[in-house]
Amino acid sequence: MSFNEVSTLFHEFGHGIQGMLTVIDEAEAAGINGVEWDAVELASQFMENWCYNKPTLMGMARHYETGANLPEDLFEKIKAAKNFRAGSAMLRQIEFGRIDIHLHHYFDLNGKETPFEAARRIATETSVMPPYEHERFLCSFSHIFAGGYAAGYYSYKWAEVLSSDAFAAFEEAGFDNENALRELGRKYRDTVLALGGSKHPTEVYRMFRGRDATTAALLRHSGLAG
């Protein structure tokens, strides 16, 4: 399996265990059912973090012919590739999310500004390069009106905030502290994985973390902060 395939397996397994470990009897609120867009990718993206955790990856990555462990330098390359142009990628997602929300909530249908002009104006605040005057990106931005993401594109990045902050809890517990990890794992299971859409995701997250999520862990995991 390629690294991307392993990451995808971990991602989808996160969705799977949220379904398997639910304690909610009502189908419409069990597993991922009833979980708002803001948090539906929390459990899956959380699992992806383990692919970049050295003990986890080194514990399973073997050469398919020789059985040799993953070389140290290759692990470092995988980590470096993850954060290549992370700042540009984050600005791109913020731009898309802002455009999506603006067109659904703030855009004045009777105003002088066209949707394309509004998108370019927002892009000037988030893009390193000035947007092309005649670009028509909105024509291919299907998320803003199709696929259920209307005014919800921001959830892609917000789910990363939640998943990184959740993984940071395990980093803080210490990967060499077996008892602390076991206790934290049970708490994660009993909240994020078990409660599904039975409670507001913010309430569920506070039950697990003891506070609201912050962006600190995401910035650090993206290589944008120490």
Nearest residue to 99 (alpha-carbon basis) of 154, 53, 25, 18: 154
What pLDDT, on the 0 to 100 scale, is given for residue 150?
87
What pLDDT, on the 0 to 100 scale, is given for residue 130?
87
Question: Considering 5, 12, 26, 183, which one is annotated as catalytic?
Answer: 12
Number of domains in the chain: 2
**Which of 144, 164, 180 is the last residue before a domain boundary?**
144
**Which of 144, 163, 194 is the last residue before a domain boundary?**
144
| CATH number of 10's domain | 1.10.1370.40
Task: Give the whole-angstrom CA distance, residue 132 versus residue 120.
Answer: 8
Q: Helix/strand/coil (H, E, C) string of 126-194? A: HCCCCCCCCCCHHHHCHHHCCCCCCCCCCHHHHHHHHHHHHHHHHHHHCCCCHHHHHHHHHHHHHHHHC
How do the pLDDT tens digits run along the chain, 226 residues long?
Answer: 899 999 999 999 999 999 999 999 999 999 999 999 889 999 999 999 999 999 999 999 999 899 999 999 999 999 999 999 999 999 999 999 999 999 999 999 999 999 999 999 999 999 888 888 888 989 998 888 877 788 999 998 999 999 999 999 999 999 999 999 999 999 999 999 999 999 999 999 999 999 999 999 999 999 998 7
Residue 36 is a catalytic residue: no
65 and 11, same domain (yes or no): yes
What pLDDT, on the 0 to 100 scale, is given for residue 24?
97
What pLDDT, on the 0 to 100 scale, is given for residue 22?
97
